[in-house]
Chain A
């Protein structure tokens, strides 16, 4: 049997699926969200090359979706597992989209007319824009099909949406189907790849930074959407309080990370990610001042430290060692950031017009539950445990189940892609060995 299940449709899951499918395996790619693409799809640019993130990802997403050997199952979760390596039986719960995927062309007419249009936070833009109850996750979504939010749709929550649901009226293809029910699919696979990626830590618990209280304190992901040409502001860095372009931006590193109160590990990306974000600000607005308040540089790997040097010398980013202890909001929405300049051993403050918190990427919310279903283990933070951290980093504690990407441990995109390919090779090798033995 040459069937493999891949859980998670981010860049790691996509890469693993493509590698396995190219080798002739039949891949089932199960994604929890309505579209594949994962976190990388939300990024504006990637470091250290400053490539447009979605531009390099979208072709891969389509390739994956259109690959004859890959079955992409979106809006679905793994709920059960039986059997053993070489012969697993997986139960997958496919949640209803309430839109017929075969009929829908992704024209978007339905999203224009929804009675709840513009009232619900858009997950893809981390709440910076609003969507309706029926929506297409994002422009480059794969599959580009509409989906109905069952918690918000008037028809699904109240059983009534005016005289006639407007989306039903608008859809020329009769794709909308309020009768859809959750569906359980049973899959027979030889091996499983877990690539569930990360979620973002909510920094409102760190009262010293006032996230949630102060409008102009945003997270790195929010910044990413603001600076993205495809984002809600069309790439204009409009600060939330008054829509003004900030004269300066302060990036605060390690929020919730390297912090024993929350997560002790180093996310391994925010030194470079903030540099990238600051470079983007400089590219959009040459006069803007950017400050990065860091704990210490952890820019390991190819071209990483050079990237930071380039940020400093070529773009004039100010790097200050010192984690700020307090932020206070002024009447005009500007923020006073108090920090200790560790080079001078002096307490200083600076008036920031926008503060960006580089929040911790943390193992996905559902990873503990998924570990229970799959019978594998997680560490105290929720990262999946490896069989051996040194010699078997991509194998889990159960035979036939493999891990790659951020779900295994902190890493950046190139490393996740490399690890996904490694996992695919490992899966192929083991499945083939099992076949020979059988």
Chain B
């Protein structure tokens, strides 16, 4: 033959029921020719195309995705196509960050009478995708079952359970639903596998039960591994976050340095700042014209890394940022997708090693947990990992981070006393009045690594008065939305309970160090008639410095 086979791209087209699908149909009956590379999915409106659908298509290996709908002004649902247009802009940005050429995604308006236009658009797109080449991404979405529940009982030694009921009584879910960690384990031991599989998605994986268990039953590890054996995964947000993580695990990502324009960052150096994926959240929440309060969640979580670098710059640190950093893999890990988790972890570890950094600092509680515990335990990652509060504490102690708060006790109690002596009584009372009362929520991932004192130390040095909620430190609540799995009435109850506790303290706002806690708690607030302000730890500190 000798001739090279031409690459044939696979294209997925979403066509709206009223215009584009009819347009495609017209192209067919009118015998207009167009390349056979396209597979059509009919949707009621282009506005129905969830970002998760697009990501899923890329994840499954499609080389291009086309969204088609009625011309602007012709939408049968008034403004569905306008929403699709907005979403298209943000999706292009998103897929670029995930390592997909934005040209692989296309938006076209095709009316019911434009059969010829449909065939032309498809032809053009196929040619364009041919020029880019075959997509390298093809994720096997199905997690492979590796072990039976029976063997997991032996591997994780959950049979050690002595049935004392401590886990059930500390479990937050059990207070609203018929659920018990102990009974999940019991069912597994007695071989009721269906019951086990049905209940593993109710677990928040907050690890509180494991911390109080007198028999050291590693319940959370057991649940995590059982999740792997369950074919159908439960999750909110249409699998979108998981798709992004899986795509990142299988693509070449870059572009994180761009987030930090105007700030001082480096590509090589001693201290590396692991940014986390929050700026992606901005795109993900900027959905379907939802320019309401929910959209503000994305804005505020995506600001966190910028605020962190801003503070580090203030303290004279120019942190290393990995342009090709990937998701830490937390969410994939907790749902049992170890294969893709390992890909992400290894890519991150290699990138960190290449940067020659000696210490890694994380502002996201989940990244911190993964790097500190799972990366080191599973992949021998041996660099020192700090939570950002630990770094700030260090900087405050070294005198490099100065909040300029008058009369503040910077280095222990003695110094503050001396300062206040020189001041008039009037000044002192003013200082006391100025202190903003806040409460700090310990997220699960920091709780389980005992990061309690550093954030409180930094906050009080920044001039806040930290008041405690009923559930704080070792006993802190979970935001009930671990890995986007558990969203539902139970988690809303838990979230509102937490907000209620924060309100009881009379604090002006709630500070947390986990972007997911912030997201979920804000979501609960916006969806109810409660009013509460929630801020990230880093943002709260940065606001003081500004």
Contact = CB atoms under 8 A, between A and B. Distances in A.
A337 to B, nearest CB: 9
Given A207-B473, A207-B475, A261-B216, A322 B164 contact: yes
Contacts of A340: 165-166, 168-169, 174, 180, 182
B169 A261 contact: no
A325 B214 contact: no
A322 B165 contact: yes
B101 interface: no
Interface string B160-184: 0011111111110011000010110
Interface in A91-108: none
Interface-central residue, A208, A261, A325, A342, by most chain B CB under 10 Å: A325
A267 to B, nearest CB: 14
Contacts of A347: 168-169, 171, 174-175, 180
A325 B165 contact: yes
B474 interface: yes
Interface stretch (A36-44, A80-88, A252-260): A252-260
Contacts of A324: 166, 169
B475 A323 contact: no
A265 interface: no
B169 A338 contact: yes
Contacts of A291: none
A366 to B, nearest CB: 27
B470 interface: yes
Contact of B169 (A206, A259, A326): A326
A322 B212 CA distance: 14
Contacts of A295: 162, 164
B212 A342 contact: no
Nearest to B169: A325
Contact of B474 (A207, A254, A325, A338): A207
A413 interface: no
A345 B175 contact: no
A123 B278 CA distance: 55
A260 B174 contact: no
A256 to B, nearest CB: 9
A426 to B, nearest CB: 36
A208 B170 contact: yes
B357 to A, nearest CB: 35
Interface residues of B, number: 25
B166 A323 contact: yes
B436 interface: no
B215 interface: yes
A251 interface: no
A217 to B, nearest CB: 13
A325 B215 contact: no
A260 B216 CA distance: 6
A258 B164 CA distance: 11
Contacts of A254: 214
Contacts of B180: 340, 345, 347
A325 B163 contact: no
Nearest to A205: B474
Contacts of B168: 325, 340, 347
A294 B203 CA distance: 26
A341 B180 CA distance: 12
How many chain A residues sit at the interface, stated as a range, is 20 to 34
A28 interface: no
Contact of A326 (B182, B473, B475): B475
Interface in A348-382: none
A342 B209 CA distance: 16
Interface in A249-281: 254, 258-261
Contacts of B163: 342
Contacts of B164: 295, 322-323, 342
Contacts of A326: 169-170, 212, 475
Nearest to A337: B169
Nearest to B165: A340
Interface string B208-230: 01001011100000000000000
Nearest to B214: A259
Given A208-B212, A260-B215, A340-B165, A325 B473 contact: no
B214 A339 contact: no
Most buried by B among A206, A258, A338: A338
A339 B212 CA distance: 13
Interface in B457-480: 470-471, 473-475
Contacts of A206: 212
A325 B216 contact: no
Given A260-B215, A342-B163, A347-B175, A322 B169 contact: yes
A243 B204 CA distance: 41
Interface string B136-177: 000000000000000000000000001111111111001100
A342 B163 CA distance: 8
A262 to B, nearest CB: 8
Contacts of B166: 208, 323-325, 340
A52 interface: no
Contacts of B174: 340, 347
Nearest to B172: A326
Contacts of B165: 321-323, 325, 339-342
Interface string A283-302: 00000000000010000000
Nearest to A347: B174
A261 B171 CA distance: 19
A250 to B, nearest CB: 13
B170 A338 contact: yes
A168 interface: no
A402 to B, nearest CB: 33
Contacts of B215: 259-260
Nearest to A340: B165
Contacts of A341: 165
A175 interface: no
A208 B167 CA distance: 11
A322 B182 CA distance: 12
A289 B471 CA distance: 28
Contacts of B183: 345
Given A295-B164, A338-B169, A345-B180, A325 B470 contact: no
B171 A323 contact: no
A261 B175 CA distance: 25
B181 to A, nearest CB: 10
B313 to A, nearest CB: 38
Given A339-B169, A340-B165, A340-B180, A323 B474 contact: no
Residue from B170, B183, B214, B471 having most chain A Cβ neighbours under 10 A = B214
Contacts of A258: 162, 214
Interface string B464-498: 00000011011100000000000000000000000
Interface string B292-304: 0000000000000
Contacts of B212: 206, 208, 325-326
Contacts of A259: 214-215
Nearest to B175: A347
B418 to A, nearest CB: 25
B190 to A, nearest CB: 14
Among A254, A321, A322: residue with most chain B CB under 10 A: A322
18 contacts: A207-B473, A208-B166, A208-B475, A259-B214, A259-B215, A260-B215, A261-B214, A322-B165, A323-B166, A325-B169, A326-B212, A329-B470, A339-B169, A340-B165, A340-B166, A340-B168, A340-B180, A347-B169
Interface of A: 206-208, 254, 258-261, 295, 321-326, 328-329, 338-342, 345, 347
Interface of B: 162-171, 174-175, 180, 182-183, 209, 212, 214-216, 470-471, 473-475
The 8 nearest A-B residue pairs measured at CB: A340-B165, A325-B170, A325-B169, A259-B214, A207-B474, A340-B168, A322-B165, A323-B164
Given A208-B166, A254-B214, 17 more contacts: A207-B474, A207-B475, A208-B170, A208-B474, A208-B475, A258-B214, A260-B214, A322-B165, A323-B164, A323-B169, A325-B167, A325-B212, A326-B170, A340-B165, A340-B168, A340-B169, A345-B180
